[in-house]
Amino acid sequence: MAAPKVAVVGAGVVGLSTALCIAETCPSCSVMVLSDQFSPNTTSDVAAGILIPHTYSGTPIHVQKQWFKETFTYLFAISNSAEASEAGIHLVSGWQVFKNTPKEELPFWSDVVLGFRPMSEAELQKFPQHLFGQAFTTLKCDCPPYLLWLEKRLKATGVQMYTRKVADLWELHSEYNIVVNCAGIGAHQLVGDEKVFPVRGQVLKVHAPWVKNFIRDGDGLTYIYPGIHRVTLGGTREKESWSLSPDPGTTKDIFDRCCSLEPSLRGAQGIEVKVGLRPSRWCVRLQTEVLSQGGVKLPVVHNYGHGAGGFSVHRGTAKEAARLVRECIAALQGSTLRAKL
């Protein structure tokens, strides 16, 4: 058959990295990215971009660990290259602190991040409200530059990007052989998946260049993540809220909570407020489905529902989605061969 045409729907971190994995591992494919929004207007542009995994209750832990490890390895290599600054990726050390000792003192990802250890008594003196803590070094993505870096890599591999609102995946069947659904929160409407729901996140981006270490409260609600140019302060987790409007009361609450962890933030300048809707689901949907109408078939690979943990596993899930696309191509080539015989 002629070069298979693959459409990737969605241009957040999952869509772009999935398109890149397909282009890298299926060089015979013609890959297009279709989305009504590209950076800087995606949910991924708002994300904090720190590699600390979120746990998906419906996905086996060993699978989540593999996705995280593959993502960490990929981004670590970029952080160790001349492209680190352009891609917005750097190592950051810091602390995760708890008011009570957690059930799991060693999270499943503790041997993937660097130098994971319990905090010393001396370190804990910095956090008088907290009794237990973990120190480690992880990776931080400044998301808008990373998305632009991915777009640049895609263009270099011949992938084309089009601004297009896809209302129904079936509308693509006459133009493409395979469709990859990376629509994030858009999958709620696009494929009618009611298991996908928004978890609203409001964050502040501030200028506080003296803050060098990340600090994360163990409940995941309050965090301070230093980036290359700005520090991200968070956050909120508001289930089923679709509002993208910043809430001034929430801004004050986030700022006060972060200042209680790091009092020097009282001197932060230039507060910018951002809101994003995390595409949450009890598990990432990463599977193949074959749509058919009137004897015509359209293979669809789904890769969405990453919630708060998209950056931490994006490359791992992209690699798996690309593998599923290769399976679809093999099946299409097999049916073309049988038709000829």
**Residues within the annotated binding site for FAD?**
43-44, 166
**DSSP string for 44-91:** GGTS--B--PPPPTTS-HHHHHHHHHHHHHHHHHHHTSTTHHHHTEEE
Give the amino acid at 38. Answer: F
Task: State the sign of the Cα–Cα–Cα–Cα dihedral 170, 173, 177, 180.
Answer: negative
Q: Which two tokens stand for residue 158?
A: 């011949």
Pinpoint the alpha helices (H) of 167-228: 187-190
CA distances from 30 to 121, 157, 169, 222, 253 (A): 56, 10, 18, 43, 48
> What's the rounded Cα separation, in Å, for the pair 317 and 312?
10
DSSP 8-state class, residue 228 = S
Residues tagged in the binding site annotation: 43-44, 166, 223, 278
Residues tagged in the binding site annotation for D-dopa: 223, 278
Under a CB-based contact definition with an 8 Å cutoff, are residues 88 and 149 in contact? yes
60-65: list long-range contacts, CB under 8 Å, 24+ apart: 61/108, 64/108, 64/313, 65/108, 65/109, 65/112
Tell me which residue of 196, 262, 200 sits closest to 225, measured CA to CA: 262
Q: Give Dmax (Cα) for the chain.
A: 75
The upper half-sphere exposure of residue 58, i.e. CA atoms within 13 Å in the direction of its Cβ, equals 11
